[in-house]
Amino acid sequence: MDRLSSSARVMIVSDLDHTMVDHHDSENLSLLRFNALWEAYYRHDSLLVFSTGRSPTLYKELRKEKPMLTPDITIMSVGTEITYGTSMVPDEGWVEVLNQKWDRNIVTEETSKFSELKLQVQVVDPSLAETEQRPHKVSFYVQKDKAQDVMKALSDKLVKRGLDVKIIYSGGMDLDILPQGAGKGQALAYLHKKFKTEGKLPQNTLVCGDSGNDAELFTIPEVHGVMVSNAQEELLHWHAENAKNNPKVIHATERCASGIIQAIGHFNLGPSISPRDVMDSSDSVSENFEPGRDIVRFFLFLERWRRAEMEYSELYLAGLKALSFPSSAFVHPSGIEQSILDCTNALRRSYGDEQGKQYRVWVDQVTTTEIGSNIWLLKFNKWEISGDERRGCIATVLLSSKDLSPSEGFTWVHMHQTWVDGAGAKDHTDWVC
């Protein structure tokens, strides 16, 4: 919440499964396209919020499986848990809101009388028993043809017991019971209210979803909304009944994260061409110095070079050498200091060494600070996937814009890398730069 000193230019609030994350995209290309766009043009002055039905445990599992960015805010368990930052600090004020007219024991007692309801832990891995049933969320599976009758009867019983609850059906089988004040939409409304109190209400908010439990997000006043092309029937039906004539809500023609990028362009929220969609960096000229963009472009070059998706040419290496001070030092995560000549030689040897492999590179949490006249300090996490191995480092980079125009970019002065705990490369020589 405190990362930005003023209102966010854009706040994107996105569901994860089948919205930000496409489980049918084995190479995660749509997600990587979004990652590059966000870190190049938005991270420095905007906010990224993930809003998921997953519990904290399953959310962390997804992060291990997919090349996801680190959000500023995480809303989990269908809007019943809000946390902030990398450390996922919980919002205790939200817990107090949810405790009103909620008694989990009564919910458990009444739902046990419905044979149609199957507690999700009875179907999924039993070892997850304590992860999916949360303090303010009780979750079941129910057959689609029985869902509406069960929801009505259960709602009546809980009202008679003095509770004020919300029952959400999504995915054609998931039934979640929450406090009435909970849900993805209410969690977002709570955040908006909190930002407004601090004088930091985002200039634009874009909500993104694919299923019934995302519908509430589109009801928040003044937000832009996108239903990705692969949105489920329940959300499309809700839209037809409630928001068909709302020009601020669109049904994208692109799947998942690509649909989010499409919506950014449709609503003119900012740049909507991902650096991954630009093969020649000379086609992407900026009027302003954007150090985050240069970092993203450099590591995209590294990926394409090692995958041999570009022709080998010494001109590329000469260009990189020209954009570094002769005395530039690059510290490898293993602690070995390399000169620009060492790095150039390593790049020369690495051309095509990942060709035909599932090798991808992305950066996360790029922060930029102008620490002096024409001197920029950048910090970020750099990640690589090669086959089944994921490795990552924490990087600090000094860039200089002295005597350069925005179209020329920056001169690299220094880069220092250290391995992320538990994510070091098995073969240190395979980490080029």
Asked if the model's pLDDT at residue 53 lies above 50, the reply is yes
Q: 62 and 36, same structural domain?
A: yes
| Band of residue 62 on the pLDDT scale cut at 50, 70, 90 | very high
**Rounded-to-integer distance, Cα 264 and Cα 262, Å:** 6
Is 122 part of a structural domain of the chain? Answer: yes
Q: Which structure tokens are listed for 143?
A: 């057959």
Domain boundary among 179, 208, 224: 179
**For residue 123, what is the domain's CATH number?**
3.90.1070.10
Closest to 3 measured CA to CA, from 373, 367, 430? 367
Q: 198 and 307, same structural domain?
A: no
User: To the nearest 5 percent, what fractions of the chain are helix, strand and coil?
Assistant: 35, 25, 40
Is 42 part of a structural domain of the chain? Answer: yes
- Cβ atoms of 85 and 71 within 8 Å: the answer is no
Domain boundary among 226, 251, 275: 275
| Band of residue 427 on the pLDDT scale cut at 50, 70, 90 | confident
Is 124 part of a structural domain of the chain? Answer: yes
Asked if the model's pLDDT at residue 186 lies above 60, the reply is yes
Q: Which structure tokens are listed for 342?
A: 């060492």
- Per-residue pLDDT, 406: 66
- Mean pLDDT within 83-87: 96
- Per-residue pLDDT, 394: 97
**For residue 20, what is the domain's CATH number?**
3.40.50.1000
Q: 224 and 135, same structural domain?
A: no
How many separate domains does the chain show?
3
| Phi, psi (rounded to 5 degrees) for 40 | -75, -35
Q: 78 and 146, same structural domain?
A: no
- Cβ atoms of 393 and 98 within 8 Å: the answer is no
Q: For the sheet with 375-386, list strands across it.
A: 337-339, 324-331, 411-419, 389-400, 375-386, 359-372
Is 374 part of a structural domain of the chain? Answer: yes
pLDDT (tens digit, 9 = 90+) per residue, 222-265? 999 999 999 999 999 999 999 999 999 999 999 999 999 999 99
Show the domain range for 412.
278-419
- Per-residue pLDDT, 54: 92
Angle at alpha carbon of residue 25, lines to 364 and 169, rounded to 5°: 95
Is 140 part of a structural domain of the chain? Answer: yes
- Per-residue pLDDT, 124: 46
Chain-centroid distance, C-alpha 256 = 12
Q: 363 and 395, same structural domain?
A: yes
Asked if the model's pLDDT at residue 26 lies above 80, the reply is yes
Q: 410 and 363, same structural domain?
A: yes
- Per-residue pLDDT, 122: 41
Q: 326 and 312, same structural domain?
A: yes
Q: 165 and 116, same structural domain?
A: yes
- Mean pLDDT within 5-23: 97
Asked if the model's pLDDT at residue 171 lies above 50, the reply is yes
Q: Which structure tokens are listed for 212?
A: 């019934």
Q: 23 and 81, same structural domain?
A: yes
Domain boundary among 127, 151, 179: 179
Compute the mean pLDDT over every residue in the chain, rounded to the nearest whole number. Answer: 91
Q: 190 and 43, same structural domain?
A: yes
- Per-residue pLDDT, 337: 93
The sign of the CA dihedral 150, 156, 160, 166 is positive
Is 2 part of a structural domain of the chain? Answer: no
Q: 286 and 377, same structural domain?
A: yes
| Band of residue 280 on the pLDDT scale cut at 50, 70, 90 | confident
| Band of residue 123 on the pLDDT scale cut at 50, 70, 90 | very low
Is 40 part of a structural domain of the chain? Answer: yes
The crossing angle, in degrees rounded to 10, of helices 144-160 and 104-111 is 130
| Band of residue 129 on the pLDDT scale cut at 50, 70, 90 | low
Is 201 part of a structural domain of the chain? Answer: yes
404 vs 109 pLDDT, higher one: 109
DSSP symbols for 204-273: -EEEEESSGGGGGGGGSTT-EEEE-TT--HHHHHHHHHHTTT-TTEEE-SS-HHHHHHHHHHHTT-S---
**For residue 300, what is the domain's CATH number?**
3.10.450.50
Q: 314 and 211, same structural domain?
A: no
